[in-house]
Amino acid sequence: MRPTYEYILQPTPTRRVSFGRTELLNLGMALGALTLVFVLVWLNPLFGRVVLNADTLGIIVVSSFIAVLTGFLMHEIAHKVVAVRYGLWAEFRADRRGLLFAFVTAIFGFVIAAPGAVMIAGPVSLRQSGKISAAGPLTNLGFGGTFFAILFAVIYFHVAIPQFLGFLIVQITMVNLILGTFNMIPFPPLDGSKIWWWKKPVWAGMFAVFVVLLAAFFIYV
């Protein structure tokens, strides 16, 4: 099924990116919830990944928040920026059921997150839809790929770095690769479905890079 958008009556859009109170509240809700989700993953006793104390907990919380800023917030802003430049109305809305499901999966040590989406109103072509959808995962690919390269260099060359910095690099890499890979699944309403219908070779290339990076991350880390 080709991707569709629900057109809703909104004020006439401009090409200036701005954020209203409702959108900021939705972004804040999703940002806070996803931060807690990734904190739960690292604290999961089934895996015993960390020795918990006050310092470690602080590192996990702060690094998770920063990682979610790059992996989730920048992803959604990228969607919005591209949509607005096409002259469309675009605002993020959180999905409470998706956030709740993310908490449930985190209990078992992994994350399946659909925190919400940028809602779009206005006439949009298949090409525009594909580019708007690709903007988010490409942001994840940029952050995830860059920080994976840094992480690989640190491990390969045995570079001594502070504990917080090391954990932050791991978190940013993991969050971006997990969220980006999940969003590339070609089923509605995920980004991958719209990219698939726009240009399958683009989808295949992006998805392959995500899978390779994610597999390499879990092998090396």
Per domain, the residue ranges of the chain are 21-220
Q: What is the signed CA dihedral for 90, 94, 97, 102, rounded to 10 degrees? A: 110
- Can you name the residues that pair with 118 across neighbouring β-strands? 92
DSSP classification of residue 146: H
Given 6, 23, 76, 91, the catalytic residue: 76
pLDDT by position in tens, the chain (length 221): 444 444 444 554 557 899 999 999 999 999 999 999 999 888 877 655 566 787 888 999 999 999 999 999 999 999 999 999 999 999 999 999 999 999 998 888 778 888 999 999 989 999 999 999 999 999 999 999 999 999 999 998 999 999 899 999 999 999 999 999 999 999 998 999 999 999 999 999 999 999 999 999 988 87
Residue whose token pair is 């999961």: 44
Residue 23 annotated to the active site: no
Q: Residue 158, CB half-sphere, CA atoms under 13 Å: how many?
A: 0
Task: List, as one string, the DSSP characters of 20-83.
Answer: -HHHHHHHHHHHHHHHHHHHHHHH-TTTT-S---HHHHHHHHHHHHHHHIIIIIHHHHHHHHHH
At residue 46, the pLDDT reads: 67
**CA separation (Å) from 198 to 79, 85, 143, 168?**
16, 19, 24, 35
CA distance 56 to 89: 42
| Angle in degrees, 0-180, between the axes of helices 126-156 and 74-85, rounded to the nearest 10 | 150
CA distance 178 to 221: 14
At residue 13, the pLDDT reads: 54
pTM here?
0.88
At residue 109, the pLDDT reads: 76
